[in-house]
A and B are shown apart, each in its own frame.
Chain A
Amino acid sequence: MSKKQEMATRRQFIRQTGCCLCALAWPARADVPLFEARYYEKLPHRKIRCSLCPRRCVIDDLERGYCGVRENRGGVYYSLVYGQVVSAHIDPIEKKPLFHFLPSARAFSIATAGCNVFCKFCQNWEISQSRPEQIPATFLPPPQVVRLAKDKSCPVIAYTYNEPVIFTEYMYDIAVQGRSLGVRSVMISNGYIEPQPMRDLCKVLHAVKIDLKAFSERFYKELVSGQLRPVLDTLVLLREENMWTEIVYLVIPGQNDDRKELTGMCRWIAAELGPEVPVHFTRFHPMYRLANVPATPLATLTMARKIGLDAGLHYVYTGNLPGDEGENTYCPNCHKQVIHRFGYTILENRIQNGRCPDCRALLAGVWE
Chain B
Amino acid sequence: MVLATAEGVRNRNRSVLSAPLQRLLDSAMESYFQVKAGQAWKSLVRPNDVVGLKVNTLAGRGLSTHPELVEAVCERLQEAGVAANRIVIWDRLNRDLERAGYKICTSGPSPRCYGNDVCGYTQQVYEFGAAASRISRLVVETCTVLINLPILKDHGIVGASAGLKNFFGAIDNPNKYHDATGDPYVADVNRLDPIRRKHRLTICDALTAQYEGGPPFMAQWSWPMNSLLVSADLPALDRIGWELIDEKRQQMKLPTLKQAGREPRYILTAADARHGLGIADRERIRLIRCTL
Contact = CB atoms under 8 A, between A and B. Distances in A.
B107 to A, nearest CB: 21
Contact of B176 (A47, A58, A118, A289): A118
A288 B134 CA distance: 12
Interface stretch (A125-133, A182-190, A202-210): A125-133
A60 B156 contact: yes
B90 interface: no
Interface in A232-258: none
A189 to B, nearest CB: 19
Interface stretch (A62-70, A96-104, A168-176): A62-70
Interface string A65-102: 11110000000000000000000000000000000000
Interface in B131-184: 132, 156-157, 172-173, 175-176, 178-179
B215 A131 contact: no
B244 interface: no
A61 interface: yes
Given A47-B156, A133-B117, A288-B125, A61 B216 contact: yes
A45 B218 contact: yes
A345 interface: no
B81 to A, nearest CB: 35
Interface in A33-76: 45-47, 57-58, 60-68
Interface string A96-130: 00000000000000000000001010000100011
Interface string B27-62: 000000000000000000000000000000011000
B120 interface: yes
Contacts of B290: none
A62 B179 contact: no
A225 B215 contact: no
Interface in A305-339: none
A289 B132 CA distance: 8
Contact of A131 (B58, B172, B178, B216): B172
B175 A64 contact: yes
Nearest to A63: B215
A125 B157 CA distance: 26
A9 to B, nearest CB: 15
For the side of the interface on B, what is the size category? 20 to 34
Q: Is the interface of B mostly helix, strand, loop or mixed?
A: loop
Given A45-B213, A133-B93, A133-B117, A62 B132 contact: no
A2 interface: no
A45 B219 CA distance: 12
B172 A225 contact: no
Contacts of B58: 62
Contacts of B214: 60
Contacts of A125: 125
A289 B213 CA distance: 36
B127 interface: yes
B175 A225 contact: no
Contacts of A5: none
Given A47-B156, A133-B93, A68 B125 contact: no
B172 A62 contact: no
Given A68-B175, A131-B173, A133-B117, A289 B127 contact: yes
Given A60-B215, A60-B216, A62-B215, A134 B120 contact: yes
B140 to A, nearest CB: 15
A320 to B, nearest CB: 23
Nearest to A44: B213
Contacts of A60: 156-157, 214-216
Contacts of A129: 172-173, 176
A68 B132 contact: no
B104 to A, nearest CB: 14
B121 interface: yes
Given A60-B156, A60-B216, A61-B216, A66 B125 contact: no
Given A45-B218, A58-B156, A61-B216, A130 B172 contact: yes
A227 to B, nearest CB: 12
B117 A65 contact: no
A46 B60 CA distance: 15
Contacts of B121: 134
A63 B156 CA distance: 11
Given A66-B179, A130-B173, A289-B132, 8 more contacts: A45-B218, A57-B178, A66-B178, A68-B173, A125-B125, A130-B172, A131-B173, A288-B125
6 contacts: A60-B214, A64-B175, A118-B132, A130-B172, A131-B173, A134-B172
| 4 nearest A-B pairs in the assembled complex, by CB-CB distance | A61-B216, A68-B175, A60-B156, A64-B175
